[in-house]
Amino acid sequence: MATDDVAQLADSLAKTGVEDGELSYKGQGRKLDDAQSVEEMVKEIQDFEGLQALRLEGNTVGVEAAQAIAKALETKSALMRCYWSDMFTGRLRSEIPPSLNSLGDALMLAGARLTVLDLSDNAFGPDGVKGIENLLKSSTCYTLQELRLNNCGMGIGGGKILAASLIYNHKRSSAAGSPLSLKVFVAGRNRLENDGATALAQAFKLMGSMEEVHMPQNGINHAGVTALAEAMQHNPGLRILNLNDNTFTEKGAMAMAQALKHLRSIQVINFGDCLVRPEGAKAIAVSLSEGLPILKELNLSYGEITEDAALVVAQAVKDKDQLEKLDLNGNCIGEDGCRALKVAMEAMNMSELLGSLSDDEGEPEDDDDEEDEDDDEEEDDDEDDVDEEEFSTPQSTPRPPEVSSFLSFPSPDKLLKLGPTRALLIEQQVDVSDATKTAEAFLKIASVYKEDNTEVKNAVLDSIGKILCGVESSCKCQTCVTFVYFSYFVLSYDSCKPGSVWTWHLQLLWLLYLIFTFAVLLFHTRYLLYIHKYCQIVILKYLLTSRNKTVTYHIKMH
């Protein structure tokens, strides 16, 4: 019997993975919907003495399951590291905040002191940030050193909430005698844009403890980059700065070059695909020449850098004894320039450090340069005009160019170019609490529907369906609100088409939809909710495929 117990324990440990105070369920693909589905996990957590790290990534956790896990964590005061990335796949966005609230409340009740919190790859949007707001403000996070929120779709609003929480935490922890000293911050692919980046820059500046900052692909241009550059000057221990795939232009690059002069500990700089341009690259080269003694990697790829600027950068790294890689690929150096660059690196015995130049775009045409300069000047003039008006008018949140373009002039190509997160991007820019704006967004998405194009058809149906889910998650009276919004959309859609689409087929579908709406309100079960949503999709498809298979776009809102 004892042998069987030992074997059972060994099997359990092998499945979960136990090492140095860590309990891991990483990548097991479990579908954890309710308390019963996590009974075994809860027991293992309860029985684990001295639990320091819990890995739940790669599973999907429902609200009830999260509450059961949270109950088990209420006594785990030694817990320091929570690896909870990618654990809400397939869940409604409305399910995520209460799940995060339950887990966060448990950590606070236990008196845990976190050092690592990883919630990456959970597409929870701004509401998800609200789900961890109390946790981030609490004493549980006074000791936080790593915060990883990569690919969470936070948006500008989520970025501001996050920044405010960190600032609040720093104020409270400082008063308690142990200021928050965050070292690693990861928030790529979150559509933070200028406002979100600027808000976070204030938190970075206040803490002054950053060692790694990763914020690639966030739609940040020179205004946000400048704010981050100023903040980085107050973080002398910074080792890694990754702002890949944002838009510096010369203004942002020069501001960042100034900041680099203060960062003698920096080892990795990733400004690839940031459009630093020749003058920006030269400014960065000056900072390289004057400091950065332990630099290991410099990425200035895909930045429209010309031959002369590239050679200046090459000369600037000649004394960097620890340099391992210089990436200047995808610029506008030209064939002759690439050869000259290779010769220059060989002369410094650093040829092996130069990355590939296979994607070089050739020398830029003079006309293109002049047009770019003119565009920049016009942009600057527009910004100056806005600055003058801002004395009396609050600054509005800028839309991402792609979303703005689609909402202004809808087309199938523009919708597809928004990518798989199109619904999230549109939802972040549309106030779902405003029925008129939401119905208008539905109309614009519906206007590009094509029955004979499967990709476009699926994109339209998927986008409208997900935005409806977003509408649900924004209000406690979910089904009722969705019914009102969906009705508004159908009526608005009917008014913008020549003649009525209210055939007996649609009338029957609408009657079924009404019945299931009231059924869900009376008996709120998951199955009724699924049927309710299915009716929505069927009605949508019927509307979109009626008559000429396309919509003559003309909004006549009621």
82 falls within a domain:
no
The reported pLDDT for the residue numbered 97 is 95
Residues 227 and 357 in one domain: yes
The reported pLDDT for the residue numbered 373 is 46
By the 8 A CB rule, do 248 and 284 touch?
no
56 falls within a domain:
no
Judging by beta carbons within 10 Å of its beta carbon (0-12, 13-18, 19+), is residue 388 exposed, middle or buried? Answer: exposed
What backbone torsions phi and psi does residue 55 show, to the nearest 5 degrees? -105, 120
* Angstrom distances, CA of residue 557 to CA of 405, 409, 443: 21, 17, 10
Query: Cα torsion at 512, 515, 516, 520 (round to 10°)?
Result: 170
* CATH number of the domain within which 461 lies: 1.25.40.200
pLDDT at 98 over 60: yes
408 falls within a domain:
yes
At 541, is the pLDDT very low, low, confident or very high (cuts 50, 70, 90)? low
d(CA 152, CA 121): 6
Residues 461 and 345 in one domain: no
Residues 297 and 359 in one domain: yes
0.75 exceeded by pTM = no
Residues 340 and 408 in one domain: no
Residues 362 and 414 in one domain: no
Residues 225 and 364 in one domain: yes
d(CA 424, CA 535): 22
Residues 268 and 358 in one domain: yes
Residues 272 and 407 in one domain: no
DSSP 552: -
By the 8 A CB rule, do 302 and 329 touch?
yes
| Residue finishing a domain among 344, 368, 392 | 368
pLDDT tens per residue, range 134-159? 999 999 999 999 999 999 999 999 99
Residues 268 and 357 in one domain: yes
DSSP 352: G
By the 8 A CB rule, do 244 and 274 touch?
yes
The reported pLDDT for the residue numbered 416 is 82
505 falls within a domain:
yes
497 falls within a domain:
yes
445 falls within a domain:
yes
The reported pLDDT for the residue numbered 392 is 33
Q: Domain range holding 240? A: 221-368
* CATH number of the domain within which 302 lies: 3.80.10.10
Average pLDDT over every residue of 438-443: 66
Residues 294 and 354 in one domain: yes
Length of the chain: 558
pLDDT at 386 over 60: no
178 falls within a domain:
no
| Residue finishing a domain among 316, 348, 368 | 368
* Angstrom distances, CA of residue 254 to CA of 113, 144, 201, 355: 40, 32, 17, 24
> Cα 29–146–171 angle (5° rounding)?
130
Residue 450: count other Cβ atoms within 10 Å of its Cβ: 17
By the 8 A CB rule, do 357 and 341 touch?
yes
Residues 240 and 346 in one domain: yes
> Per the structure, how many domains does the chain have?
2
- Which residue has better confidence, 523 or 357? 357
Classified as helix, coil or strand, 44 is helix
What backbone torsions phi and psi does residue 462 show, to the nearest 5 degrees? -65, -40
pLDDT at 478 over 60: no
409 falls within a domain:
yes
pLDDT at 295 over 60: yes
| Residue finishing a domain among 341, 368, 395 | 368
Residues of the chain above pLDDT 70, percent: 69
d(CA 14, CA 99): 27
Residues 416 and 489 in one domain: yes
